[in-house]
Amino acid sequence: MTIDQQRQNLELRERLEICRRFGSILPAGVVFDEWLEGPDGAGFRLFRESHHTDDDIKRAKDRLRRDRDVVRIEVVVVK
């Protein structure tokens, strides 16, 4: 892993912990971050940790789409 990749992963872990402390947690413990994307809704980042399955991520996406005005969802893998 390069220095840049290590730095990026550290930043993701720090953001994940901030979101976790604020209670931004979906089914199966998937932590998320959100921001205003525009007048149509919000953007979301799901933090996929090593214990999450594909089904966990799918359920988290489904919950967001059902409960929120979603413009974009991205998934980042936290190592």
Q: How many domains does the chain have?
A: 1
Neighbours of 75 (CB within 10 A): 15
Segment 1-51, tens digit of pLDDT = 799 989 998 999 999 999 999 999 998 999 999 999 999 999 999 999 999
| pTM (predicted TM-score) | 0.91
Residue 32: domain span: 3-77
What is the structure's pLDDT at 19? 98
Q: What is the DSSP string of 30-66?
A: -EEEEEEEETTEEEEEEEE-TT--HHHHHHHHHHHHH
Dist CA 58 CA 40 (whole Å): 22
pLDDT in tens, 50-74: 999 999 999 999 999 999 999 999 9
pLDDT of residue 1: 77
